[in-house]
Chain A
Amino acid sequence: DTGVSQNPRHKITKRGQNVTFRCDPISEHNRLYWYRQTLGQGPEFLTYFQNEAQLEKSRLLSDRFSAERPKGSFSTLEIQRTEQGDSAMYLCASSHGSSNQPQHFGDGTRLSIL
């Protein structure tokens, strides 16, 4: 169990640019989640995959955001035309099996928009 891995750890970009983050879940976990955390707040749910299928999306996930999990393994989260309000920590989590299993989080990607 090597844990959930996220890359990059930090991303600084100019407003209007596109960014992509990667998440590698724990290998045997079939469920993968993306959350966003802003300063002083708890994580907020963005989207959820079971294997390669994206089964749930939050209303926070605007049309500038897209997530994929092409082979049911790693996942990417892309933000197009970044805005100042996108500055946050983006957290990925994975879990195994049924919904009563805990989600295990990566260390996140901190996005800063200049």
Chain B
Amino acid sequence: AQSVAQPEDQVNVAEGNPLTVKCTYSVSGNPYLFWYVQYPNRGLQFLLKYITGDNLVKGSYGFEAEFNKSQTSFHLKKPSALVSDSALYFCAVRDQAGTALIFGKGTTLSVSS
């Protein structure tokens, strides 16, 4: 069965510091991986995806993610955090044959000024 784990409920960083939000996955076959961000009382906004190709994927708002097949991980990163990055972040996976996204429980990112 497909699954996603986000091991940290909350990540705290200071503005200007690099940030990492961790994600590991389990899927049969090759994964399609996604990161979304959710602000209070809003839907999910797409940040980036990995389908195939280069292991480092660049997305919206300066975010990037690194796909590591051997560690089955897809960590979200940003070189310099902004206070406005504070939000709830979800990692999701889908196998090539599937349609539904399987989401992790989410990680709350808090960036302090």
Contacts and interface: CB of A to CB of B under 8 A. Distances in A.
Interface of A: 4, 6, 31, 33, 35, 40-45, 48, 55-56, 58, 91, 93, 99-100, 102-108, 110
Nearest to A56: B99
Q: How large is the interface on B (under 10, 10 to 19, 20 to 34, 35 or more residues)?
A: 20 to 34
Contacts of A91: 43-44
Nearest to A40: B105
A107 B39 CA distance: 10
A40 B88 CA distance: 10
Given A33-B99, A99-B98, A42 B43 contact: no
A42 B41 contact: no
Interface of B: 4, 32, 34, 36, 41-46, 49, 51, 90, 92, 94, 96-106
A35 B105 CA distance: 14
Ordered nearest first, which 4 A-B pairs have the shortest CB separation?
A42-B103, A45-B100, A105-B43, A105-B44
Contacts of B98: 99
Contacts of B106: 40-42
14 contacts: A6-B43, A42-B104, A43-B44, A43-B101, A45-B102, A55-B99, A58-B100, A99-B99, A100-B49, A102-B34, A103-B101, A105-B36, A105-B43, A105-B46
Given A4-B43, A41-B105, A56 B100 contact: yes
Nearest to B92: A42
A100 B44 CA distance: 17
A106 B32 contact: no
